Amino acid sequence: MFRFSTIKDYHTTLQNGQTTCVEAVRCYLGSIKERPQLNAFLEVYETEALERAAALDQERQQGKALGKLHGVVVGLKDVISYKGHAVSAASHILENFTAVYNATAVEKLLAEGAIIIGRQNCDEFAMGSSNENSAFGPVRNAIDESRVPGGSSGGSAVAVQAGLCMISLGSDTGGSVRQPADFCGVVGLKPTYGRVSRYGLIAYASSFDQIGIFAGSVEDAALALEVIAGADDFDSTVSPREVPAYSAELAAPDKRYRIAYFKEALEHPGLDPAIRASVEAFIKKLTDQGHTVTAIDFELLEYVVPTYYVLTTAEASSNLSRFDGVKYGYRADIAGGDLTELYKASRSEGFGKEVQRRIMLGTFVLSAGYFDAYFTKAQQVRQILHQRTRAIFTEFDAIISPTVPATAFRIGEKSNDPVEMFLADIYTVFANLVGIPGISLPLFKHPNGLPFGLQVMTSHFDEVSLLRLSRQLTAIPG
């Protein structure tokens, strides 16, 4: 019977003839059908996935070289374009839209033999921290179906958590990979801004968005990043730097790291006491193993969430202006020929409440009377954060923190309090504001039985150190 632990082990069983790609795909299709109530997938490509699996099996039998992701079953968040397939950003305004090209990350997956099994539910236009904002219903946490999986990439996290695929691609604008990874007890990696091409990713906030990876292990996340990272002529913001062989770099000998943590993060009044205690106990383990772990003052913590929301909503207001009911997507049925009324009706009916809220906030901070007071000031704070971050990494190899201040909450629990929902991002938005890589590692279990993670961040384009340290941390006995 097919079992999956890591991609490396899966490839070994394929080469030994113990399983096939077709058997793997059938297993995942069966698991998806068994748990429809999770609402993790908006669409499953059953026939197509089986056909591709059969073709890959034939190639392997003919002795052809295996791609790095040969036969790996992958899910895509519903903001990543896959040519000839629907991509809706979980919104009614794009409900019937079909992608006309592949995202660069998808092209790279396919080139290395991956099998794409379906598109995964998410918060509408990646705006949310709970996956309750999808136009197609909330995603449910597989551990406790009364709880949220986190957002915005909730469907992608749950698919890996529940064994519905091997890895998933999500997007992370302010924690949308790391936060659901924390809630679901899986690995969630956000690379450096510009490490992975954004071509084919539906934009929320262009200077923040980054495609990320959900996996069951650091090793699988490293291999997936190795495949999807790199230069791209279609994205002017992607880095031309050479992509390290991340999976091979993990084999390097363990080393002792200089690690910082923000004192204000662990002393924050919104942090669950059990999470604080677990992180403090883990810091003790790190020092016992020879790592240097130092508390540093970071008085800017209280500014990161407001700065993030001012800037991202401003960018969203601009990016989402293209959805007007004229060129493509949902168009309201109104009498008469008034173009302005068509715009108003199409956007009012097509966008959900959370998206409308963020567009309106972004339009407000960009308006003539408030541009300098809000948008310009937020950009200044972002620059200060950049400078402070560079200074920190001259002294330290990594920064650690809780990923989220609490474990997964119940569906509907925070729906009427957007401020409380926004504060769930307090530890994750920092990495997006300054563009550094971050990962959530599933290291802990709360007394309430739910998982939670540790966030690790390193300097720009230092994913090698991030992944090596992550491998060491996941090996520390609980």
Q: Which two tokens stand for residue 1?
A: 């019977």
**Alpha helices (runs of H) in 237-289, residue ranges in sequence order:** 246-249, 263-266, 273-288
- Looking only at the bridges linking them, the beta strands covering 258-262 and 211-215 are unpaired
What is the helix (H) or strand (E) element at residue 349, kind and residue range?
Answer: helix 339-350
Sheet strands (E) in 303-405: 398-402
Q: Out of 152, 153, 217, 440, which one is annotated catalytic?
A: 152
Specify burial of residue 327 (Cβ count, 10 A radius: 0-12, 13-18, 19+).
exposed
Separation CA 472–CA 442 (nearest Å):
13
User: Hey, what amino acid is at 91?
Assistant: S
Q: Is 168 a catalytic residue?
A: no
Q: Is 152 a catalytic residue?
A: yes
DSSP secondary structure code for residue 424 in this structure: G
Q: Which residues contact 92 (CB under 8 A, 6 or more apart)?
A: 135, 330, 349, 350, 351, 352
Separation CA 361–CA 358 (nearest Å):
5
Residue 156 vs residues 59, 162, 202, 306, 320: alpha-carbon distances, Å = 29, 10, 16, 27, 23
What is the helix (H) or strand (E) element at residue 457, kind and residue range?
Answer: strand 451-457
* Residue 37 near residue 43, CB atoms below 8 Å: no
* Residue 5 near residue 24, CB atoms below 8 Å: no
**Residue carrying the six token digits 């309430």:** 448
Q: Out of 77, 108, 190, 414, which one is annotated catalytic?
A: 77
Picking from 185, 149, 182, 155, the residue whose alpha carbon sits closest to that of residue 169 is: 155
Q: Which two tokens stand for residue 23?
A: 């058997």
User: Hey, what amino acid is at 8?
Assistant: K
Q: Out of 134, 153, 156, 176, which one is annotated catalytic?
A: 176
Separation CA 95–CA 101 (nearest Å):
17
User: Hey, what amino acid is at 148?
Assistant: V
Separation CA 259–CA 3 (nearest Å):
36
| DSSP conformation letters of 294-329 | EEE--TTHHHHHHHHHHHHHHHHHHHGGG-SSSSSS
Q: Which residues contact 197 (CB under 8 A, 6 or more apart)?
A: 103, 104, 105, 211, 230, 231, 232, 234, 235, 238
Q: Is 414 a catalytic residue?
A: no
Catalytic residues: 77, 152, 176
